[in-house]
Amino acid sequence: MDIPRFRLDGKTALVTGSSRGIGKAIADALEGAGARVVRHDSKACDLSDPAALEAWFDGLEKAGAAPDILVANASVQAKIPWAEFPRDEALREIQVNFLATLRMFQRAYPHMKARGWGRLIAVGSVNERRPHPDMCVYAATKAAQENLVRGLARQLAPEGITVNNLCPGVFATDRNREALADPVYGAKVLSAIPMHEAAMPEDAAGAALLLASDAGRYITGSTILIDGGLSIPG
């Protein structure tokens, strides 16, 4: 099936954290729809280093690769009880998960504005709705990102730029492979999901393509949950 409004020919997409997991699946989908995709991992630019981010974006601009579509997917998280959560780790999560997203949006925005078209997509988490007790800081950074998305969406809509938040639930990726493989913990996690299974990275690709393309041109300020029903209260 090839629906013209889902095509991304002529667009440049930057997907952070696209060496594996959800980011890779999104990058593959955007590339499959015709976009030129700039791939990224922590070696291409460590997002915990603000100076590295600036240098990386300078290089993208010089190479004519400023994105029309930016998917802020990379994140970091640590499972530590909140009362013992070290300040250094909290600052790292705030930097990578929130401040780097804000700065990348700021760097990409002038190019999108000049073209009268753009897509800013933050990858959030079901933790925005159901914070894991030992990942309250991570959950808070994702919630801050969601609020930023709503604040920007209202301002940028008249400029042809949409801003959205894509929220995975429990996905079978490297970051939780070990936890899901634990028979007791894994069973507990899966039993809380109405679909009783973890998602595969590809399960995030369709929604990302919708938000990135003209098919989703009227969607802005939204949070799309891909969580098998996990966030449904009750």
Ligand X SMILES: NC(=O)c1ccc[n+]([C@@H]2O[C@H](COP(=O)([O-])OP(=O)(O)OC[C@H]3O[C@@H](n4cnc5c(N)ncnc54)[C@H](OP(=O)(O)O)[C@@H]3O)[C@@H](O)[C@H]2O)c1
**Residue number with CB closer to ligand X (5 or 177):** 177
Q: What is the DSSP letter of 194?
A: T
Diameter of the chain by CA atoms?
Answer: 53
How far is the C-alpha of 68 from the C-alpha of 64, rounded, in Å? 11
In angstroms, the Cα distances linking 210 to 121, 132, 178, 191, 205 are: 11, 29, 31, 29, 9
The least CB distance from residue 68 to ligand X, in Å, is 21
Question: Which residue, judged by CB position, is nearest to ligand X in the bound state?
Answer: 21
Query: Is there a catalytic annotation at residue 185?
Result: no
Closest contact distance (angstroms) between CB of 123 and ligand X is 4
Q: Which residue has the tokens 């070990």?
A: 178
Which residues form the interface with ligand X (CB under 6 A)?
Answer: 17, 19-23, 41-43, 46-48, 73-76, 96, 123, 125-126, 168, 170-171, 173-176
Is the dihedral angle over the CA atoms 177, 211, 233, 149 positive or is it negative? positive
**Which residues 6+ apart lie within 8 Å of 177 measured at CB?**
none
Nearer to ligand X (CB atom), residue 68 or residue 128: 128
Min CB(124)–ligand X separation in Å: 7
Q: 208: closest CA among 18, 59, 56?
A: 18
* Residue 234: CB minimum distance to ligand X, A: 21
* Catalytic residue IDs: 138
